[in-house]
A and B are shown apart, each in its own frame.
Chain A
Amino acid sequence: MPRRHRRSAQLAALATGTVLLATACNAAAEKDDSASAATGGSGKSFTLVTPDAVGQNEFLKLAVTGVKSAAKQHDGTQKVYESTDTASQQQNVQAAVDAEPDVVVLVGFEFADLVAQQAEKNPGQQFLIIDACTTKTFKNVSCAVFREHEGVYLAGAEAGLLSKSGKVGAVDVLDTPQFRRYSDPFAAGAEKVAAKTETSTRFVGGQSPFDDSARAKEQANTLLAKGYDQIMAAAAAGNYGVFEAAKAKGAFAYGVDVNQCASAPGTVVDNVIKRTDIAVEKGIETVLGGTTGTTVSYGLKEGGISLTGLEDGVDTSKCVIADHKDVLTKVEALRDQIVSGELKVDDPAAS
């Protein structure tokens, strides 16, 4: 998912923006050495390259947390190179490779091609890509991908339990198997807890499906007009349009990737979140352990996918689910079933 479009904005970020502007010109790499213990005991070093400025982006903030705790665990050092655009992504990857750390960690699909080139040129360098993978397999490229559908299934269960009209729907970006991971399991989750639930999915489509919040809002409106009162918002930047539509009708919505509840408090029930920190930490662990060139999938079991409602801090999350502890108890039970393998969530992208 193009999470770069999902940034909730804070006025506090204004200052950050100005600083960024000042440094953007020469900053191929904004180095963050703050947490690096000058001489790490083990001498292990990790470099994280982000596709965008970390700023208020929770998805990337988590990745930074992950690489920092990995450095702490292994008594090593870490560096964070923040990119601002395609050109700086390239420069940062090059700079990271030149420094020859033990592992270069990269977050996002933006890096798939860049890493493929670098991995071929530098067979001795270990790479770890989070939330994407190279099309070709390399011995020195490890990947971490997520099983989003498991989290979406749980969000669907919440929707099924909370729906008053018995109708739950989803607004998705495009009708492709990969994106259906955000809509089909939502329906399945709702039907699991309330068999008679009616479900429906609308796809934003159009010329720029990821940016068109007005179109996403209209799609949500067609669902709301038919009495759907719980809507999964998986429309990238369109999510904000879906939240607006739901709020206007007094209905409820579900966010993705990060906690989006603050965008529309009282409307957003819960979010399917990706714990990039866990994927980074465990990924580094695996690479250092000598297992490289593999793709590891993170879901509920590994703690890589979760709901805001199932994490710490739910009471201050501004999410509606915080007021429905009874629902959370049932959802936790379902999670445990999925974790133990007793319950299997169909993956629309599996073929």
Chain B
Amino acid sequence: MFLDSDLLMSALRALTPILLAALGGALCERAGVFNIGLEGMMLMGCFTSVATSWFTGSPWLGVLAAALAAAAYSLVLAVGAVTLRGDAVVLGIAMNLLAVGLTSFLLRTVFGVQGTFDDPSLAGLPLIGGFTPLAYLSWAAVAVAALLLSRHVWGLRLRGVGEAPDAAATLGVSPAKYQYGAILLSGVLCGLAGAQLALGNVTLFTENMTAGRGWIAVVAVMLGRAAPLGVLLAALLFGLAEAAGFRLQGLGLPQQATDAAPYVVTLGALFLTTARRRRRPRTTGAVQ
């Protein structure tokens, strides 16, 4: 059978790191900061979680350290884009490049190895019902983020800052404060995504191990239009497409074709959603 529990488990495992990072990206997007540094922040999380878990023996401290380290790293974007008004795209790309170099360098200096740090005694996260606690946390985070953005005053102000920063400022809401908050939160979430990848999906660190998942998260943010539920669905689509791609290889499809699966799905979904969006009358926009 093609659709079975193994496929679903595989899809959900692929989902977790992407979802956590994408939620962070969505918060930034809502606050008016285009964050494409997710990949780099995630990679910082990967390294910090592995290093901390190795030296303390506790994967939980690893998760905590990953969240803190990635949040600290996200300050580059916060200070650069919000305080200094730099270009967020340029900063994001720089952060991604720096993270690859920095983690590779740290891997050599801290562990004295190149490429991969792997040890049978490195403690990973425990599995509950086949998933790490971070997977459950990621699902809860979707609900929390959805409530926050639609019901809570903090979330409403955040959206206000994103949509009309000048208007927000005249009402006494500091755009910079909310944008800092959103970026730091995205750092925490990307740190958790990295910890999930390096201590959950696998238990090791490899240079550039995020392998484009941060970019997929960026696309998930766009596809889900920065709404938590939409982001969840978009990320799930990627997870399913990837898992199904693996399965199709087993049915004899060439790797080059199955590799394209997630991207074909993205293009298809983008086409469908924008086509629908374009058809919708846009009169309400003028009234608001």
Which of A17, A21, A262 gathers most chain B CB within 10 Å?
A: A17
Given contacts A205-B255, A218-B10, contact A6 B116 (CB under 8 A): yes
Within 8 A of B (CB), among A250-282: 262-265
* Interchain CB contact under 8 A, B249 and A202: yes
Q: Which residue of B lies closest to A214 (CB)?
A: B201
Check B254 for interface membership: any CB of A closer than 8 A.
yes
Give the interface residue-count category, chain A. Answer: 35 or more
Are B112 and A206 interface neighbours, CB within 8 A?
Answer: no
A211 touching B255 by the CB < 8 A rule?
Answer: no
- Does B255 contact A240, Cβ atoms closer than 8 Å? no
Contact of B67 with A by CB under 8 A: no
Known: A8-B118, A211-B208, A218-B14. A175 touches B255 (CB 8 A): yes
CA separation between A211 and B205, bound complex, in Å? 10
Instruction: Please give the distance in Å from B122's CB to the nearest CB on chain A.
Output: 9
Stretch touching chain B among A36-44, A50-58, A138-146:
A50-58
Determine if B247 is an interface residue (Cβ-Cβ < 8 Å).
yes
Once the chains bind, are A225 and B6 in contact (CB under 8 Å)? Answer: yes
Cβ of A74 < 8 Å from any Cβ of B?
no
Decide yes or no whether B256 CB sits under 8 A from chain A: yes
Contact status of A221 and B10, CB under 8 A, knowing A211-B209, A212-B211, A213-B202? yes
CA distance A17 to B10 in the complex (A): 37
- Closest CB of chain A to B138's CB: distance in Å? 15
Question: Which of B13, B109, B197 has the most CB atoms of chain A within a 10 A radius of its CB?
Answer: B109
Contact bitstring B192-216, A, C-beta under 8 A = 1, else 0: 0000010001111011110110010
Complex contact B118–A240 (CB within 8 A):
yes
Q: Give per-residue flags for A107-139: 1 if the beta carbon is below 8 A from chain B beta carbons, else 0.
A: 000000000000000000000000000000000
| Cα–Cα, bound, A302→B204 (Å) | 36
Q: Tell me the number of A-to-B contacts counted with CB atoms below 8 Å.
A: 139
Of the listed residues A8, A9, A223, A240, the one surrounded by the most CB atoms of chain B closer than 10 A to its CB is: A9
* Minimal Cβ-Cβ distance residue in B for A219: B246
A221 to B215, CA, bound (A): 24
Decide: A7 and B120 in contact? CB cutoff 8 A. no
B212: chain A residues at CB < 8 Å are 206-208
Whether A299 sits at the interface, judged by CB under 8 Å, is no
Nearest residue (CB) in A for B127 is A248
Inter-chain contact B211/A17, CB cutoff 8 Å: no
| Residues of A contacting B111 in the complex (Cβ-Cβ under 8 angstroms) | 9, 13-14, 17
Q: Within 8 Å of chain B (Cβ to Cβ): is A174?
A: yes
Q: Given the known A-B contacts A214-B201, A226-B250, are A205 and B259 also in contact in the complex, defined by CB atoms under 8 Å?
A: yes
B243 at the interface (CB under 8 A from A): yes
Q: Is B258 close to A, CB under 8 A?
A: yes
List the 3 closest A-B pairs by CB distance, nearest first: A17-B112, A13-B112, A207-B212
